[in-house]
Amino acid sequence: MSITTSVLDELGITCQTENIYHQIISAVLDASEQLELPRRLQLMMAQPKNELIVHFPVRMDDGSFRLFKGYRVQHNNVLGPYKGGTRYHEDVTLDHVKALAVLMTMKTALIRLPFGGAKGGVKVDPYSLSEDELMRMTRRFVSALGANIGPDYDIPAPDVGTNAQVMAWMADTYENISEPSKRLGRAGVVTGKPLEYGGSHGRDKATGQGAVDVLEELLPELNIAIDQMSYSLIGFGNVGSWTARLLSERGATLKAVLDHTGAIVNEKGLDAQALAAYVAEHRGVAGFPGGKAFSEEDFYSLPVDLLIPAALEQMITTENAALINCRVLVEAANAPVTPAAERDLLNKGVTILPAILCSAGGVTVSYFEWKQNRQAEVWSAEEVDRQLRAKMIAAARRVNQMAKTLRCDLRTAAYCSALEHLNKVYNIRGIFP
């Protein structure tokens, strides 16, 4: 019996291999076996501490009311307050949020941040709402969460479908429903806020910046020169567009982009800055005058040095893995590759740089924002970049070293480094009482 089956059995959960939560937990538990970590840690990792589902009504612009379903999953807080993004998407489910919450525990532990892992979301297509409806829904969601979030307890951030404006509404609502004498400085309840309202320099580009810092550290070992490499991107939202803009500054060639509106290609290189401006206006890459439309199949088959998924989870399946023609797959998105596709890619000799490393820049600058809020300080953009780079490089080295010591792939190594740290802290703290 595999370790995953035996742990899930003990918890009374039937393992479903297609379920994203079970996929992530299986990978984490498999990694824990490499280090022979104690059973109690495996059990604690396999279930979140708290799973909250809220239903709340919101008045629509036409006077009708709509009931929304929101989630907050708090996976683990042995390292510090829970921390994790808030997603607005029509496909949000409890297991999805649980999966993303586990990844947050792994990320914060890998980067050695004093945070635990959480995730939240609302099942909604945010683009189907007017700005006023979005604001009322956000405020009502925060009031439904009530004391389940807080700057010392659980600190949400942006994710797919949410942005700095949504974070500002969240913080403002939280401040308004807090006791008056305790309101000051409560904006630290969320990160990713606008600069004028307690946000940090560099938070917008942080996830892309972190991915680029990791690439600058690890690509030389793989004999890839950043200024001569070509790459394709899946997703051109916050993470994808910033990764592209920062890589273009370093001379890399962006050959193709796929997003929810279609795929575009330009063998000589797409202009990342112009594409970012175009997507901001047209909400997708389709029709971009600097590239040609082509099929999804052609997108995946295009030979490139790097393929960077920066869109949604589980987009790389066995079908498109069979077409993929790259040397390195960089997981700028959370869990973009299914376990079956991962096996196929590794068998083909593709190196996979794992999500808990490559997409950790966002939570790292969120930590800097939280720290600045607590100390009533504003760091310069250069200071944020410098401290982010130091954390990302240290984590990349940790993962590389662990992979060499254990002779394993980089995902397993990243989980092992995170789990080793969590285990040390559990051993020091002990289990209450």
> With CB under 6 A as the contact rule, which of the stretches 32-40, 66-74, 309-317, 384-392 interacts with ligand NAD?
309-317
Query: Closest separation between CB of residue 429 and ligand NAD, Å?
Result: 27
Q: Is 359 in the site for ligand NAD (CB under 6 A)?
A: yes
Rule CB under 6 A: say whether 260 interacts with ligand NAD: yes
- Confirm or reject binding of residue 207 to ligand NAD (CB under 6 A): yes
Judged by CB under 6 A, does residue 117 bind ligand NAD? no
Cα–Cα separations (whole angstroms), residue 171 to 105, 359, 393: 23, 24, 31
Q: Identify which of 197, 171, 199, 196 has the alpha carbon closest to the alpha carbon of residue 186.
A: 171
Told to check if 243 binds ligand NAD by CB under 6 A, we report: no
**Residue from 27, 215, 218, 258 binding ligand NAD (CB under 6 A):** 258
> How far apart (Å, rounded) are the C-alpha atoms in residues 86 and 155?
10
Question: Is the peptide bond between 336 and the residue preceding it cis, with omega within 30 degrees of 0?
Answer: no
**The residue type at 76:** N
Contact 215, 240 (CB under 8 A): no
Taking each helix axis from N to C terminus, what angle separates 206-218 and 361-375, rounded to the nearest 10 degrees? 120
Please tell me whether residue 364 binds ligand NAD under the rule CB under 6 A: no
> Can residue 259 be called a binding residue for ligand NAD (CB under 6 A)?
yes
- Candidates 98, 107, 119, 255; catalytic one: 119
Q: Does 191 bind ligand NAD (CB under 6 A)?
A: no
Residue 4 or 342 having the CB closest to ligand NAD: 342
Q: Rule CB under 6 A: choose which of 238, 351, 372, 417 binds ligand NAD.
A: 238
120 contributes a contact to ligand NAD by CB under 6 A: no
Q: Is cis: bond before 433, omega within 30 of 0?
A: yes
Tokens of 281: 């206006």
Relative to beta strand 50-59, strand 65-76 is antiparallel
Instruction: Say whether residue 235 binds ligand NAD (CB under 6 A).
Output: yes
What type of residue is 165? Answer: Q
Nearer to ligand NAD, 150 or 240 (CB): 240
To the query of whether residue 107 is one of the catalytic residues in this protein, the response is no
The helix or strand, by DSSP H or E, that contains position 217, with its residue range, turns out to be helix 206-218
**Is 331 near ligand NAD (CB under 6 A)?**
no
CA 23 – CA 99 distance, rounded (Å): 8
User: Where in 2-41 is the site for ligand NAD (CB under 6 A)?
Assistant: none
Active site residues: 119
